[in-house]
Structure formats: structure tokens, C-alpha cells
Structure 1
């Protein structure tokens, strides 16, 4: 039988181990794929790009992740379906046609390898 002092020490150690385990698991539970680098970037004014690419902070599920680029009238201007790079699952890109000067919107949906879905959009301008 453990004495009261040993029981308290054991409980304190158990609480500490539990707190450590929860803290270590927290980043896994919050693994959302958010953009780290966008080309062209949000609010950028650029010469007509041939593609839009986004580097995410987490690996993506290619089947469920996508990007769409539209002009100011809402017309799709990407010439192909977006793709997640097979060699770098954090990188997604989409090819563009010849873009006229104007404002374009990039809409993206990213599903992380752990199943968490995020989405967003941003604009860039072609000069």
C-alpha cells in the first residue's frame, strides 16, 4: 500500500504526464492546411502570370484540394484543373491562359492529410 506522500507524488506525476501528452498532441489536432506562400500573392499587381501556385503549411489530399481562378466577370481563366505536386504535397498550382489586364480572384480549397478542410480566396491584378 502506498503512503499518502507517495500517492500525492504519483498523482502529480500522472497529471504532468497527461498534460504533456495533451500538449504534444495539440498540433496534430489543429493541423489545418493554410497558405504560407502564394504566387502571385494577395493584392499583388503583376505582369500576366502563366500559373498560380500556393505553398501550404501541411500536406494536402490531392483528390479533395483544388484551386480556381476567375476574372472580374466570374469567368474561369485557368486552362487546366489544379494539381497537387506529387513530389511536394504542400504545393498546389494551376495553369492559366493569356490574361488581359484586370483583377483576378483565386479561390482555393485545401484538405489536409488529416482530413481538415480549409478554404479561402484572394485577388491579384494583372497590369
Structure 2
């Protein structure tokens, strides 16, 4: 086998392996409230991921417009472990809230992110 086809074959294999690993991570698919949404104070947050989650190593933190942490209820999973639900037991005042999340998929991959939603007056 000449060098060029061998190099092309190796590059193809490396690309396929890397793509497979990237697809195995739990990515945020949808959220409620949604990113940049303007809503009334939510009773809970629902974050839907592409993979099943390990609840023990997954969580959410919400901060108010003054960067103070909001007290949240105990997180849980639903819909085959792909939806992380977090109760919001208090009424949120109007303003922008930041949701910081981190999850561990059941296959052992960690991902994290954040988004902002607005509570309207």
C-alpha cells in the first residue's frame, strides 16, 4: 500500500473515532424556561439532554440579577433519565436569571453550560 492511501485511511479512522466520542456526550437539547425566554416565575426547571444522566453527579445552580444563588428543590430525573427537573419553590422577582448546569451521562462523559431567561413583571 502506498503512503497516500495509508495516510488517508488512518485520517478517516481517527475522524470516525473522534466523531463517535463527541456524539456520546449529553448535550442540552431543550430547556424550560428556554434560553432568552421571557416568562412568569417558573415552578420548576426542565432541562432535556441527548443522553441518559447520572443524577448523583448532575446539577443546576440558578443566580438572580444580583448574582445571588436561588434556593432550589431536590433535582430529579424523568423521561428515561434524559430530563433533569429542578423545583423552584419560591416566586422569582422580575429580572434576568442565569442557569448554570453540569451533568454526567451514564456513559461517563461530563458536560456543562449556562443560559439566561427573564422573569417578566
Scaled to the shorter chain, the TM-score interval is 0.7 to 0.9
Gaps of 5+ in 2: 2-8
- Residues 1:66 and 2:49 aligned together: no
TM-score (norm 1): 0.74
Give aligned pairs, total. 108
- Asked if 2 retains the 8 angstrom alpha-carbon contact of 1:50 and 1:95, the reply is yes
- Alpha-carbon shift at residue 24 of structure 1 (Å): 8.3
- Asked if 2 retains the 8 angstrom alpha-carbon contact of 1:68 and 1:82, the reply is no
- Residues 1:105 and 2:82 aligned together: no
Specify the alignment match of 1:11 in structure 2.
Answer: none
- Alpha-carbon shift at residue 98 of structure 1 (Å): 0.7
Specify the alignment match of 1:90 in structure 2.
Answer: 82
Moved beyond 4 Å, runs of 4+: 22-26
- Alpha-carbon shift at residue 81 of structure 1 (Å): 2.9
